[in-house]
Structures are given as structure tokens and as C-alpha cells.
Structure 1
Amino acid sequence: MPIYEFFCEQCNTVYNFFSRTVNTEKIPFCPTCKTVPLKRQMSVFAKITPGREDPAGEDMPPLDENRMERAMSMLAGEMDGIDEEDPRQAVRLMRKLSDMTGLHLGEGMEEALRRMERGEDPEQIEQEMGALLESEEPFLPGQKAAKGTKRRTQPRVDETLYDL
């Protein structure tokens, strides 16, 4: 009996719906807004870690399943031809993947990629920026925000289990 995740853009909330059967067609309305149809999301698999129930900051933004499948197919095809000695190729692939999925990189990662595009040594960049890169959210949902504009906050996750 599956649990499906749906996202409401208006509420910026992810909702969980329980189905007694496999139901890939039904799209419920937002439990809060009541009139807004939700968007089905690709669920992130649970990761079991001893002694940690809900690690902060590990929630992924809602994903469009079709976009993610296309992006993963593209990634698999292009990884074979990448020159591991040319960091610029890895940067191009990362930017392409980001654009295809609608997930954008945090400011620290963007800075690291810009430096790699200029030809700086990736190991030196990691040494200088490693702590920053580990502390920031790696992915941001939606469109790239222009400098000085506010990004949409991470979606809230409603822990209630609704019937589908």
C-alpha cells in the first residue's frame, strides 16, 4: 500500500497521501487550500541512520518526476564521454543537469563552478571552500534568483497522512 507525495505551490507544502491500491492517476486537492490540485512529486528514499530520526537540512525540494528521469538519462549518456582531466566538462554537465531538473545550486557551489570554469584547480577550490560547501543547502528549487532577490524557502512538509 503506497504513500504518494504531492506538492502545493500556493502553500509551499509537501503532503503525504496513503492509497489502499496502487493509484498513479488520482491527483488530490490541497488539504489546506481545498481548491488547488496538487503536483505529484518523486519521493526520496528513506535513509536509515542509527540514533538520528530527523536530521535537519536533509529534505530535498519537490521534484518533477518526468524532468528528473530525462535528466538522469542524459547524465548516464554523457558521463561516458567526459574527460575526467577537464573540470570544465564536469561543470558544463552539472549546469545542464541543474537546468534540466529545475534544481539550482547554492551560492557557494555556483562560486566553485565559476572558479572551475576559469580554469582553477578543483582540489584547491575544495580546500578553500570545503567548509562552506558542506554547510549550505546543495540544491534550491525553482528558478535561479537574481542577486538581491529573495529565493523561495524550502517547502514545509505536512506530517499528516491523508487518504488518497
Structure 2
Amino acid sequence: MGFFRKKLSGTGDRSGSELNAFLGAGTEYSGSLDFVGTVRIDGIFNGEIASEGTLVLGKDAVIRGDINIGGLISNGQIYGNVTAEERVVLQKHAVLEGSLHTKALVVEEGATIEGDVEMHGSGSSTLTAVDATMKSSLPGADADAVAFGEEEPKDEKTDVEKIEMG
């Protein structure tokens, strides 16, 4: 796909990848989406999404279907199972109803997850509580929200509780 090529800024994507396609707010698409690079969705998508690239979901995005992706940055709604090879960032308006499998997960205050969360990868994973809502079957975590991965929050004012998972 190559509808638009634009440098991403302010999305938390450190790879410097370019935006290769965009499904804007007010649009609806049903089917299967396979892409290379980075795609942003602000509309409604019904179906399966698969890529080794990065999927960015805006605040108005609604996805109904399974996602198998390299990386995900979401501020929208997902109703389906998500598998991300590298990292998932759920921003403050994000909603995920379904299972989540990833190496690293960051959940901002206000985001919600309802379903199973499974961390995979080499070595142990670190669970860092930040301050949001999480409805999950995550064992050993009774914090209101969590961020997973190797990085700690940059905000020193946030109460943080670490739990080693192994």
C-alpha cells in the first residue's frame, strides 16, 4: 500500500517509519488488511489485520476482528484478539476486549483491557503498575493499570510497583 507517505510524530514509534496508508474517520472497511510499514486507522474496520509493521489506531478507530501485527499503538477500540510481535501501547482512550499476546505492553491511564494478557519472549518480563483501569485475568497484579516491558515510566510522580514475572 502506498496511499500516503508521512513521517510519524508523537506516536511513540521510535523506528522512524513512514505512514504508508490511512483509513480516515467516517470511513468503514470490511475484509482483510495486509501491509508493509505503518498504517493508521481512524475509521471502522471489520476483518483481519496482519503485518510485520506497525498499526496506529486513532481515537475514533473501531476494529472488529483479530490483529496479528509487529507493533500496535492504539487510542481506539479493538474487539478481537491481538498478537503483537514486539510492543503494544494502549493510550488513554484505548479499549481492548479480547486476548492480548505480546513481548511488551504499556497501558496509559484511562485505557481498558478486558481479557487475557500473555507475555512472551526471552527472559523474564517486568510488570510495572502505572495508573489506569485494567480488567484482566493477569495473575498477581491487583493494580488499577499496568505497563509491561523493559522501560519504566518517565513521570517520577507516578506510584510504581514492580512485579517480576518469569
TM-score of the alignment, normalized to the shorter chain, above 0.5: no
Which one has more relative contact order, counting CA pairs under 8 Å at least 6 apart? 1
Superposition TM-score, scaled by structure 1 size? 0.23
> Which has the larger helix fraction?
1
> Which has the larger strand fraction?
2
Superposition TM-score, scaled by structure 2 size? 0.23
Larger radius of gyration: 1
